[in-house]
Each structure stands twice: as C-alpha cells, then as structure tokens.
Amino acid sequence: MNKPVKPPFGRIIALQIVLTLTIIANIFGAANAIRNFDLFLALNPKLNNALGYVYIMCSLIAVIGSYYLWKLKKAGLYVICIAFITVIGLDLYANMPMQHILSSAALLILIVIVLVPVRKYLN
C-alpha cells in the first residue's frame, strides 16, 4: 500500500493559520448567536426560528469542514463551500449587513487561495 504523502511544512502553514482563524471566528459567532438568539432573530426579522438555526448550524458545519481540510480531506472543501454559500444566500435573503456578506465571501476565497499549493495532497 502506498503511504499518503505529506506536504512540506512551508506549504501547509498558511492553510493552518487560515483554518484556525476560520474555526475561532465561526465558534465565537455561533456561540454569540446561540446565547442571544432572541436578539439575533429580532435584528433579522426575515429569519424565522428554523432559518435562524440553519444560519447558526452553517457556522458549526464550517468548523467541521475546516477540521477535514486540516486533515487534508477533499470533502472538507465541499463542506465549507456548502456552508459558506448557504450563509451568503441567507445573508442576501435576510438583508444582513453587506460587511458580513463580503467577509464571508472573502474568507471562502482566501481558503481556496491557500489550498492551491496543497491541492495535490488532498485525498
């Protein structure tokens, strides 16, 4: 059996930094929204309870995708893309502030950019 090849340390450090920041931001954002769920729904009147929970779950799903990418699993990229696209769609539906829409899209693009040097090591 072939042993999986690990990428050089210099190529993976940028990916690990971006994924660490992604995990921290999503955990803190989800925790804040769960703690103040009524206020979260009041500030976003187009979101009902179900859409509010979907919105929060997307943050936690992005954490799972980040873990898979950390382990160099290709499925992590698909999971993160689905979570971020869902968040951006809900942002647009609920008329969220443009800063959140742009920051979500920018973070997804940044994850894809730092994946370019290690994409051949994904399995």
pLDDT in tens, the chain (123 residues): 566 677 777 778 888 999 999 999 999 999 999 999 999 889 888 888 999 899 999 999 999 999 999 998 899 999 999 999 999 999 999 888 899 899 999 999 999 898 888 888 888
Supply 10's token pair. Answer: 């210099």
Question: pTM for the full model?
Answer: 0.85
Encoded amino acid at 98, one letter? M
DSSP single-letter state for residue 7:
P
Alpha-carbon distance of 50 to 86, in angstroms, equals: 14
Nearest to residue 71, comparing CAs of 2, 10, 16?
A: 16
